[in-house]
Structure 1
């Protein structure tokens, strides 16, 4: 039996660690904003009995209950799986005060024993059962099963009665044997850091000398029923009581609510865009086609082809014909560059912000004093539809022209054109690139 257990123990330990590694590599990942407590320690006390209800014959007819106590350290790898290092101590007792069912007696005349269990240390895999509830992210009651392997050290004493017990070994040496514990338990959460633990484990011993007596050619067993407290270490809630199924359900509800909110925002933005298009159409409407918007035109209905001033009224004196060669200096270019640099519009509109007026005034003065002509080219990024971008780029160029004409610039010398998103100067994949593409170019000639 001992040789068979030696052969099976490496396999059991390997399965234990491989199972733990597999669970650790593929855990149910909690939300990034949530931290969990995964380490805990526990203390317990209970009853030790030299008997097992899972089969096998006892070496003594009457088993007695003795005090046992223990401590453990646990690492929770997932909400369902943990590794636990257990240690227990206590005493095991029994005698032959009751007859065996078969009527047989104990070989060697021993009628009683008492074993001092110096230690029983084991590494156990614990699996939480029934930890799934669709609507509760934290359970308060938990069932579990465990199994593992370890080593026990004990000193039996035997005698004809309880009163004349003697050491089983001549030198009172501690006997060490391999043990295989299996168990069940229930855990009740008292608070975020404290649990009440009820458990029952059966320890299979690789030897028949736990009670100092050989009988039935059968390995000994004992069981430990206990109650105790478990204390979670670290910050956060206990991972063992976390329910990832319910947490995932909550995340799905939040995603649905977010989608509904985004749809409402999109509908509101569409309504705002429609309103802007209506306002822009009214602002830039030029019924008589003289280049001056109706809202600024003081002489509506001007015949086609008539040269008008900035107010939309026909010029009384024909504009002088300039025959001299146009010379554009670096100073002139700086004035235009400053105007481009400081040009700002309201978001999604063609309304010029007051910040841009001083530099546009200098451009207007330059056009009036030097009789230059100016081409305005409006451009946008690729956000929105092509039609909307084309209208917005045209409207912004026209808005600048209207401002310059209102400052006395000859409307015939200012050309306003919109190109929409068709002539980007940078990539539209980044915010910086899109910012560069939203522009109005000034060209003196």
Structure 2
């Protein structure tokens, strides 16, 4: 028993090692074998398989305790097959199987006596013709499944020779000649795609012998049966660039064809759209060029009222009065008269602020109004310079002088004067015009000077 298990382990290890090699060499071409739907191919439909595994009289059907021998033993079996695939789901295969089936501890015979200790059936050869139904290879999303479950059923003929060992240890032939019997093989399993030309085949098969002679112990009315669990490799014949019919997925091919045609349609429509867009872009460019040329005839860049095409003095400052050619008019000379000076001097003499503040007292407003009118009418510029005496800190005096000058500027602007032509500056106590030691001197130093220009 231990020897058989070692042999089985070595056999399975060899098969798996071989499958790994095939997976490494064929996987790179597995995506090349696409077939259009309803085209009829080409496909690879022929394959051969080799397998090895364990044979035992126990099966998954029925009560094993009621079999002729109640202690099964596992023996090594091996075989192969040739398969022809007719559709993605249906194929016919011719199977060959060889090996041994053993068991011990027979049940009592019809007389109630236990006579046999064990049996060994040597399966010299067996041949069967079976239908192979592949499941799970129809999928909408996947090109093909990595695993294909399958069912098999058929009929076969075999030749075997059985020996029986009784309780005393004497071994005898159940028949001097090979026994030939019909049997019905029923199996299931799954195949794993290792590449475009090889599959790993893992299966289980129950063989229903059409007699009760297989184990050399004819008791009761039931026929004998034995099972075969195996692992092997299936080799697909033909070019690796041609698809396997057994793994072909017609539903996914229809989907692939639809996606390709849809992509081609989109590409064609996109090309037409791009062509029309290019034409529209060209028309838009031509129109923009025409509009730009027309704009040159109507644009007035500096806003002086003279179109650029006729403007001999471009970039004239805003508000500048120009002649018909766009050139500035000569400015009239404006002189500061004695009357103008008197108006300013009167405003200085009448200017009063609240004590220590920048608030202008009302009695100063009439003279300031006349200064505002002068600035508005003659467009003069005015510089306001605020000064204080030395009473208080330097920072306080500087801020107060600046605030008073700004207060006057704000008042003049509120009366219509141009703010951009009035400059307000504070000098604090830094520029006295009299001594700060007397009240009269300090009064003179507290002033706002008006400079008209």
What TM-score do you get using the length of structure 1 for normalisation? 0.50
Which is greater in Rg?
2
What TM-score do you get using the length of structure 2 for normalisation? 0.49
